[in-house]
């Protein structure tokens, strides 16, 4: 359980620092498509990270948590990761990486 929480914290720190670096590297005068793509990439990354956090919650509640939370966690994890994948694909289509 402690390892899962530590991994989740490390994941969030890594994702938030990468997002901040990407935002800082954006051009001084980006096109509207690049701005939209950047925002969509951020939403996709956050959605996937929320999904992985729910996946960690699914692991934690497997033996110690209530059954309803265990069932909710797996569905939420899959939904958030799927939404993140779809939004990332749309962001790439709109304005590139």
List, for residues 24-41, the tens digit of each pLDDT value. 888 788 888 888 999 999
Q: At 8, is the pLDDT very low, low, confident or very high (cuts 50, 70, 90)?
A: very high
Please name the helix (run of DSSP H) or strand (run of DSSP E) that holds residue 34, with its range, or none: helix 32-60
Asked if pLDDT for residue 96 goes beyond 80, the answer is no
Environment class of 34 (CB within 10 Å of its CB; exposed 0-12, middle 13-18, buried 19+) = middle
pLDDT of residue 95: 80
Question: CA-to-CA distance for 7 and 5, rounded, in angstroms?
Answer: 5
Q: pTM to 2 decimals?
A: 0.88
Q: Tell me the average pLDDT across 48-61.
A: 94
Task: Report domain extents, the chain.
Answer: 2-23+32-95
Strand intervals (E) in 1-97 = none
pLDDT of residue 19: 95
């Amino acid at each position: 359980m402690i390892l899962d929480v530590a991994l989740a914290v490390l994941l969030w720190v890594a994702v938030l620092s990468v997002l901040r670096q990407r935002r800082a590297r954006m051009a001084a005068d980006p096109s509207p498509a690049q701005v939209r793509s950047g925002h969509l990439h951020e939403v996709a990354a956050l959605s996937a990270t929320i999904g992985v956090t729910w996946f960690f919650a699914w692991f934690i509640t497997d033996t110690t948590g209530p059954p309803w939370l265990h069932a909710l966690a797996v569905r939420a994890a899959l939904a958030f990761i799927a939404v993140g994948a779809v939004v990332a694909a749309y962001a790439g289509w709109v304005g590139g990486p």
